[in-house]
Amino acid sequence: MKRKINDSIRKLDKTCLPNWYEIPLAGAILSEGSEDYETGSWRTRRPVWNKEECTSCLICWLFCPEMAIKVTGGKMAGINASLCKGCGVCANECPREGAMTMVEGGEYRDCKV
Amino acid sequence: MRKKIGLTGDGAAAEAMRQIDPEVVAVYPITPQTEIVERFAEFVAEGLVQTELINVESEHSALSACCGSSMAGVRTMTCTSAQGLALMHEMLYIAAGNRLPIVMVNVNRTLSAPINIHNDQSDSLGSRDAGWIQLYCENPQEVYDTVIQAVRIAEDHQVMLPVMVCLDGFIVSHNMEPVELLDDGEVKEFIGEFKPRLNLLDTERPITAGNLTLPEYFFEHKYAQVYALEQSKEKIEEVGREFGDRFGRRYGLVEGYKLDDAEIAVITLGSMAGTARVAVDALRGEGIKAGLLKMRCYRPFPVQELAGALKNIRAAAVMEKAVSPGAPGPAVFSDIIAALYRQSVRINLISYVAGLGGRDVPVKSIHRVYEHLQKVAASGEPDRILNYLDLRGWE
């Protein structure tokens, strides 16, 4: 029996992978965004956010390719560690000195993001 | 208004492309396909088509541009030959895997080395596993009709696969024959409007295409493509039938010539079928029950149709213009063996590689193949299975 799968490629649950006839034509992803992917696992460098220097201009949010900049009530609210792939676009585009800095290592341990 | 004019195979392909008026043609000229590009460029310059003609720097770029435009949801065509097809090889798989209904005219020419611009079918037969539909044409009329049908086949929503229309270089591409052209309106109506299933530029329904597909998905993705190619047989027949009903020339997957009561037969594709017809007529005049089976569709392989047509034949020879070095037999021959095995049809089958690098395959040479078949039919077993026609030092 065919199981109904809305967007099979995005279902990363290995226990219910779709059959060949359930995959969208040419394996296309039929919805926007990439939030279902744990792109955070790719990271070898990490951005560190300095709340004191940040003006919440949201340029980092605009440029981030993975929706990793958290925004609450129109204000910058931190970095989503499971989505941030460490590309550094946020730090590169940030207009404020010291508000967003890239550091070596992908792991967020003690430092609060 | 329909009209009958003298056209070469290339001219017929260009004329069909003019009437199809695809949104995008990305192309690079190469002998013996050049005449198609020249003629089509004139149509663009004269404003006879609305096509965006993209002049690219190589065939790899030509098919890459075609993949882009097809993915963006517009009707896309190209044409090439030999080294050009070889340079496209990477993109052939990408077009098929992404299920892009591109129509390409391939003018069959041999592959270097040694360098040679003349006809054989080693280019397209060598691309047999790329996942394209491959249709072979005997003469300019078939080229014209098949290019038009190819658009309908490729763009069918159950098919969504690229189609390669093959014609023999020089023999078909540069020889002029009377070709009946349909009215522009008839062609437009027959092919209809292209309704893409995937459209990368549709902002209302955003998609991501050409995705990285890892081991959990690749196999299933590939099988969906295999299944679509297999199923496309029905559509190829349906479109060929409808074309016949509307315009009087009917097409199928295979075509038998004096095959019904034949005891010996040649199986071939492309222009050699035309020459073999002459040989069959002469043999029939001598009371020899000779027949011909022309394979129009090589991919998907017409397993049942071919085995059905051959089941009462006592001996048959597969004549093909390509060689598979190191293989148990050349490509078409090996495929036919597999098809007959699958259908449990056991006949005496021999192979003839012929006409490599443009060597002429005249009627008298095909007569020798039929003579060989008469011996095989009489003795009940082939003396030699792999044969090379008119190769010096072979006999």
- Counted residue by residue, chain A has a size of 113
ipTM exceeding 0.90, yes/no: no
Across the range B116-138, mean pLDDT stands at 98
CA distance A32 to chain B (A): 6
Q: Which residues of B touch A20 (CB under 8 A)?
A: 219-221, 223-224, 227
Across the range A64-79, mean pLDDT stands at 95
Q: Are residues A12 and A52 in the same domain?
A: no
User: Is B211 within 8 Å of A29 when comparing Cβ atoms?
Assistant: yes
C-alpha–C-alpha distance, residues B215 and B183, integer Å: 50
pLDDT at position A8 is 46
- With respect to residue A112, please indicate whether it lies within any of the assigned structural domains: no
Point out the residue among A9, A23, A29 whose CB comes nearest to the CB of B224: A23
C-alpha–C-alpha distance, residues B33 and B13, integer Å: 10
Point out the residue among A9, A18, A25 whose CB comes nearest to the CB of B211: A9
pLDDT at position A12 is 52
C-alpha–C-alpha distance, residues A10 and A14, integer Å: 11
Least confident residue range of A50-54, B20-24, B208-212, B282-286: B208-212
What average pLDDT does chain A have?
A: 85
Global pTM exceeds 0.80:
yes
- With respect to residue A75, please indicate whether it lies within any of the assigned structural domains: yes
Residue with token string 């990793």 = A68
Phi/psi zone of residue B344: left (φ > 0), alpha (ψ -120 to 50 degrees), beta?
left
Alpha helices in chain B (DSSP H): 9-20, 34-45, 59-71, 82-87, 89-97, 122-126, 140-155, 184-191, 215-247, 272-285, 303-310, 331-342, 363-379
- With respect to residue A80, please indicate whether it lies within any of the assigned structural domains: yes
Let me know: does B351 contact B387? Beta carbons within 8 Å: yes
Tell which of B159, B201, B217 to mutate to test the A interface (max A CBs under 10 Å): B217
Q: Are residues A59 and A87 in the same domain?
A: yes
- State the first-to-last Cα distance of chain A, in angstroms, to the nearest integer: 46
- Which CATH number is A61's domain given? 3.30.70.20
Three-state secondary structure of A20-84: HHHCCHHHCECCCCCCCCCHHHHCCEEEEECCCCCCCCCHHHHHCCCCCEEEECCEEEEECCCCC
Q: What is the pLDDT of residues B75-107, one digit of tens each?
A: 999 999 999 999 999 999 999 999 999 999 999
Q: For residue A9, give its domain range.
A: 1-32
C-alpha–C-alpha distance, residues B32 and B169, integer Å: 6
Q: Are residues A56 and A73 in the same domain?
A: yes
Let me know: does B6 contact B176? Beta carbons within 8 Å: yes
Across the range B269-297, mean pLDDT stands at 98
Let me know: does B211 contact B138? Beta carbons within 8 Å: no
User: Is A23 within 8 Å of B97 when comparing Cβ atoms?
Assistant: no
**Domains in chain B, please, with CATH?**
3-247 (3.40.50.970), 255-388 (3.40.50.920)
- With respect to residue A109, please indicate whether it lies within any of the assigned structural domains: no
Does residue A90 surpass a pLDDT of 80? yes
Q: Are residues A16 and A66 in the same domain?
A: no
Let me know: does B58 contact B87? Beta carbons within 8 Å: yes
Q: Which residue has the higher pLDDT, A39 or B165?
A: B165
Q: Are residues A8 and A51 in the same domain?
A: no
The SS3 of residue B195 is coil
Confidence category of residue A5, pLDDT binned at 50, 70, 90: very low
Q: What angle do CA A8, B209, B212 make, to 5 degrees?
A: 70
Question: How many domains in chain A?
Answer: 2
- With respect to residue A71, please indicate whether it lies within any of the assigned structural domains: yes
Sign, CA torsion B378/B283/B329/B132: negative
Point out the residue among B100, B217, B227 whose CB comes nearest to the CB of A27: B217
- Strands B24-27, B76-80: parallel, antiparallel or unpaired by DSSP? parallel
Q: What angle do CA B40, B75, B173 make, to 5 degrees?
A: 35
Q: Are residues A45 and A19 in the same domain?
A: no
Does residue B38 surpass a pLDDT of 50? yes
Does residue B140 surpass a pLDDT of 70? yes
User: Is A31 within 8 Å of B206 when comparing Cβ atoms?
Assistant: yes
Confidence category of residue A13, pLDDT binned at 50, 70, 90: low
pLDDT at position A2 is 40
The SS3 of residue B287 is coil
What average pLDDT does chain B have?
A: 97
- With respect to residue A5, please indicate whether it lies within any of the assigned structural domains: yes
Q: In chain A, what's the furthest Cα-to-Cα distance? A: 59
Q: Which residues of chain B from 47 to 106 reach within 8 Å of chain A, CB to CB? A: 97-100
Q: Are residues A3 and A20 in the same domain?
A: yes
List of residues 6+ apart from B338 with CB closer than 8 A:
none
DSSP assignment of B323-369 = --TTSSS-HHHHHHHHHHHHTT---EEEEEE--GGG----HHHHHHH
Confidence category of residue A14, pLDDT binned at 50, 70, 90: low
